Amino acid sequence: MDQFTLNLIFVGASFALYIGIAIWARAGSTSEFYAAGRGVHPVTNGMATAADWMSAASFISMAGLIAFTGYDNSTFLMGWTGGYVLLALLLAPYLRKFGKFTVSEFIGDRFYSPTARMVAVICLIVASLTYVIGQMTGVGVAFGRFLEISNTAGLLIGACVVFAYAVFGGMKGVTYTQVAQYCVLIMAYTIPAIFISLQLTGNPIPALGLFGDHVASGEPLLAKLDQIVRELGFNEYTAHHGDTFNMVLFTLSLMIGTAGLPHVIMRFFTVPRVADARWSAGWALVFIALLYLTAPAVGAMARLNITDLMWPNGTDAQAVSVEQIETDAKYDWMATWQKTGLLGWEDKNGDGRIQYYNDKNAEMQEKAAANGWEGNELTNFNRDILVLANPEIANLPGWVIGLVAAGGLAAALSTAAGLLLAISSAVSHDLIKGQLNPGISEKGELLSARVAMAAAIVVATYLGLNPPGFAAQTVALAFGLAAASIFPALMMGIFTKVNNKGAVAGMIAGLAVTLIYIFLHKGWLFIPDTNSFTDADPLLGTIKSTSFGAVGAMINFAVAFTVSKMTAPIPQEIEDLVESVRVPRGAAAAVDH
Entry pTM: 0.81
C-alpha 105/C-alpha 476 separation (Å) is 25
pLDDT tens digit sequence for 443-459: 888 788 888 888 888 88
Rg (CA), the chain: 24
Contacts of 554 (CB under 8 A, 6+ apart): none
Which one, of 217, 136, 219, lies nearest residue 411 by Cα? 136
C-alpha 134/C-alpha 155 separation (Å) is 12
Residue 27 DSSP symbol: -
pLDDT surpassing 80 at residue 479:
yes
CB 245 within 8 A of CB 542: yes
Strand partners, 537: 534
Q: What is the pLDDT of residue 229?
A: 92
Contacts of 377 (CB under 8 A, 6+ apart): 319, 345, 346, 347, 348, 353, 354, 355, 356
Among 226-240, 250-264, 276-290, the range of highest mean pLDDT: 226-240
C-alpha 513/C-alpha 524 separation (Å) is 13
Mean pLDDT on 491-498: 92
Mean pLDDT on 138-159: 75
CB 127 within 8 A of CB 511: no
Three-state SS at 112: coil
Contacts of 218 (CB under 8 A, 6+ apart): none
pLDDT surpassing 60 at residue 374:
yes
pLDDT tens digit sequence for 516-551: 999 999 888 777 788 899 988 999 999 999 899 999
pLDDT surpassing 70 at residue 207:
yes
C-alpha 101/C-alpha 65 separation (Å) is 36
C-alpha 144/C-alpha 121 separation (Å) is 34
Q: How distant is the alpha carbon of residue 543 from its chain centre?
A: 21
pLDDT surpassing 70 at residue 392:
yes
Mean pLDDT on 378-387: 86
Q: Which phi and psi angles does 321 have, rounded to 5°?
A: -90, 155
Q: Which position has the higher pLDDT, 573 or 473?
A: 573
Q: What is the pLDDT of residue 504?
A: 96
Which pLDDT band, with edges at 50, 70 and 90, does 593 fall under? very low
Burial 547-561 (b: 16+ CB within 10 A, else e): bbbbbbbbbbbebbb
In sign, the C-alpha dihedral spanning 549, 554, 558, 560 is: positive
The helix (H) or strand (E) run that includes residue 552 is helix 549-566
Q: What is the pLDDT of residue 139?
A: 75
Q: What is the pLDDT of residue 473?
A: 62
User: For residues 170, 174, 176 and 180, what is the CA-based torsion angle, rounded to 10 degrees?
Assistant: 160
C-alpha 463/C-alpha 457 separation (Å) is 10
Which pLDDT band, with edges at 50, 70 and 90, does 552 fall under? very high
pLDDT surpassing 80 at residue 470:
no
The per-residue DSSP string of 341-400 comes to TSEE---TTSSSB---S-TTSHHHHHHHHHHT--S-S--EE-GGGHHHHHHHHTT--HHH
- Counted residue by residue, the chain has a size of 593
Q: Which position has the higher pLDDT, 381 or 161?
A: 381
pLDDT tens digit sequence for 13-72: 888 887 788 777 665 555 555 555 566 788 888 888 888 777 777 787 788 888 888 888
The helix (H) or strand (E) run that includes residue 242 is none
> What one-letter code names the amino acid at 267?
R
Contacts of 192 (CB under 8 A, 6+ apart): 298, 390, 391, 394, 396, 400, 403, 404
CB neighbourhood size of 192 (10 A): 29
